[in-house]
Amino acid sequence: MSFYRNAVWFVKGLQEYTKSGYEAAAKHFSAGDLEVNLSGRSFMVTGANSGIGKATAQEIANRGGTVHMVCRNKDRAEAARNEIVEQSKNQNVHVHIVDMSSARQVWEFAQSFSQNNQIHVLINNAGCMVNQRELTDEGLEKNFATNTVGTYILTTALIPALKKAEGPRVVTVSSGGMLTQKLNVDDLQSEKGTFDGTMAYAQNKRQQVILTERWASQHKEIHFSSMHPGWADTPAVQSSMPSFHAKMQGKLRTEAMGADTVLWLAVSPAAAKQPSGLFFQDRKAVATHLPLASSRSTPQEEEKLLAVLEEFAQKFKP
């Protein structure tokens, strides 16, 4: 079944996830959707020092929004901030150094941030694809720790602050790769069989889509969405998937194309009118399962995912 899913997904990707797929979709975009003044609104973007995160932060700063860049590497974050400020002439761009794979660090950051700042929009963009199985200092598999546990803790810890804001939103940058995966709650940390970083990453991205659906049903005051940016030419793709990057040379989207739907979901009035909890691609809600792919999970499996994540969250809470 996974062979079927992978084959169908790759054909779909060549048609839709490439630069030409974006250009075809963009013909139907409403030009005015992104003509907004974001002055007075506060945005947190994780993984904001390169790729889609940086492109999103730049566009928010260009429109007058306050940007909180959450990054792991201080030097790269400061360099990215300087570029964003120089281009936007907006000084309200702040750097926070946090390792999203450290549950305790994420907790500490979210708690202190909530006490000192307001937040209107959280953009969960940080992610990693580690191709060798590696554990964090807290004993968690690194992809799962960063992509799922870090995202879960940051979002749930900021929900009270988001609820105090006007028109709060949470956008999670998932991936179309999740369409190849059925949630596997019995092996969340990829302990069984041969480790495959690409598969672990896609599994994490499926988990993010399920979390988005669950959060939307639990917190009606906040607009939640997840999305697929398409296949974009980013430093992360280059380093994590070098053969894919080489094979797709010239077909990959630019970082700005990858960021377009993130920005649209985060700032446009049109996006806020969509139901909460959906999965988007090129400004349109799309299916979260391929046809005949048997990738749906049961409510019990999804409950178990949430219970495990809550258990980890409580375990590492300062």
Which residues are known to be catalytic?
A: 201
CB 143 within 8 A of CB 197: yes
H/E segment holding residue 293: none
Burial class (CB in 10 A: 0-12, 13-18, 19+), 110: buried
One DSSP character per residue, 152-216 reads HHHHHHHHHHHHTSSS-EEEEE--GGGGG----GGGTT--SSS--HHHHHHHHHHHHHHHHHHHH
CB 147 within 8 A of CB 127: yes
CB 155 within 8 A of CB 106: no
Q: In what order do the strands lie in the sheet with 278-281?
A: 93-97, 66-71, 42-46, 121-124, 169-173, 223-228, 278-281, 284-285
Give the Cα separation of 100 and 108 in Å (integer). Answer: 11
Helices (H), 2-120: 2-16, 19-26, 51-62, 74-88, 103-116
**Which tokens sit at 160?**
């009270």
**Which tokens sit at 59?**
């566009």
Give the Cα separation of 148 and 60 in Å (integer). Answer: 25
